[in-house]
Amino acid sequence: MQNRGTQASNMTEPIFQTLSNGLTTALYPQSHLHSLVFGLYIRVGSRYEMPEQKGITHFLEHVLFRGNGKYSNSLEMNRTFESWGGSLNAYTTREYMYFYGRLHPSFLEECLTFVGDLVRSPKFADVSLERNIILEERLQDVDSDGQLLDEDDVSRAMFWGEHPLGYPIIGIPKTIKQITEDQLEKHFHHFFGAKNMVLCLNGQFDPEQASQLMEKHLSDLPSGEARQPIRVPEEPNPQQHSAFVHHDSSQVGILLSFRGPAPQDPNYLSVSLLDRILDDGMSSRLWQRLVENRGLCYDLWTSIDTYHDCSLFDIGASVAPEKVVELVEGIYKEVYLLREEGATHDEFEHARKRWVFRQDYLLDHVTSLNEYVGGHVLYDTYQSLEQQRAQMEQLTLDHLHQAARMLFQPERQLLTAVGPLTKSIKRRLRNATEAL
């Protein structure tokens, strides 16, 4: 076992190790806590799928809960894990699958054997039953005619086009109905190798004991290969800059997305500050100017949807139909002002200070810490908190303005709106996109 991390006495950074089969582990022992959290990342998501198998990764996530060589069914799996004081969960994204759970620290060895059993010998049982559950799950995102209503899925499909990043994670009814047990097994064996996974442990445990137990219980997993997804085009701008879905409801959901930099890009950290300037508390720009001062909506937010080689900067809101145009025009005005005039010195220092505080708070939230470490290590984009803080200290107001000029360009944007949209509203929203 290779150890390439920090000493256990430095608890601001994980201890990285690689097992003999190539499994990367990240250990975050925190003796003051009273629980243990594991997180297992697998480098597979909807981005890795073929058009005729859309949704197979999410389907596989469901099936892995249906039992394995040690636990005959989902009841045994969940009852066992819950008897250790926690609960088991998982989700699938466009770039990875993630299994995680919190439990009492006295069950460290049981946890690690459980993780091994989870990915060593799944039964692939009850495939038809899971298919029906997934088809029911998908109904949450469509109307009675099957029209897609989730702004995120509508936006990504339009933004990325035929690239797999545009596929809905859950899949589409046609492919969900056609996926077979044999295809699920092949998908599993192709991606579930030790070299294609990262295991994180966070909480109360002894790192030396954990290292020995991981080698004992997980080093026999097949090594496999580190898989690579289809890369995005160098300049993946959307083919059109607006996407509208009419649906009778009380509000319009909007999502304004801009193609952003990859996490390794020098502009990425500046973009993360732009995110905080626009939406980080009730004193931030969007909240003060559009909610507090004008009462245009209640739900207004920004976020960065980050992949290992690109990102999307999102501004989202839910708003009454009669206010949607005014709100969108107000958002575009704030984006324009940031691009043309930049942030103020006070905004810059305030956002930077809050960014540092959030980094400190991350050490108190074990699940979020696992997610931060695991997702980045999986794609070799990890930077320590100290490295990020040092880079943040080097940022200037000019760097921030440069990032805003790069990000908020008309050719990089896509406005998605889902809700009761008249022809007049659609026309005025298109005009707003052209005004940037």
User: How do the domains of the chain map onto residue ranges?
Assistant: 2-218, 242-435
* pLDDT of res. 97: 97
For domain 2-218, the CATH architecture is 2-Layer Sandwich (3.30)
* pLDDT of res. 13: 84
When pLDDT is averaged across residues 142-160 and rounded to a whole number, the result is 88
Q: Is it true that 2-218 and 242-435 share their CATH fold?
A: yes
0.95 cut: is pTM over it? no
Percent of the chain surpassing pLDDT 90: 84
Q: Is the pLDDT of residue 324 over 60?
A: yes
* pLDDT of res. 6: 38
Render pLDDT for 192-235 as a digit per residue (tens, 0 to 9). 999 999 999 999 999 999 999 999 999 999 999 999 988 887 76
* pLDDT of res. 225: 95
Q: How confident is the model at residue 334 (pLDDT cuts 50, 70, 90)?
A: very high
Output 160-166 pairs: Cβ under 8 A, ≥24 positions apart: 160/232, 160/236, 161/238, 161/239, 162/51, 163/230, 163/232, 163/233, 163/236, 164/46, 164/47, 164/48, 164/49, 164/94, 164/229, 164/230, 165/46, 165/47, 165/94, 165/232, 165/307
Quote the mean pLDDT of the chain: 93
When pLDDT is averaged across residues 62-70 and rounded to a whole number, the result is 95
Q: Is the pLDDT of residue 10 over 60?
A: no
Contacts of 107 by beta carbon, 8 Å cutoff, 6+ apart: 36, 84, 85
* pLDDT of res. 242: 95
Quote the strand ranges of 261-339, DSSP E: 299-306, 311-319
Q: How confident is the model at residue 277 (pLDDT cuts 50, 70, 90)?
A: very high
For domain 242-435, the CATH architecture is 2-Layer Sandwich (3.30)
Please identify which residue in the block is written with the tokens 């997993």.
221
Q: How confident is the model at residue 4 (pLDDT cuts 50, 70, 90)?
A: very low
Q: Is the pLDDT of residue 9 over 70?
A: no
When pLDDT is averaged across residues 45-59 and rounded to a whole number, the result is 96
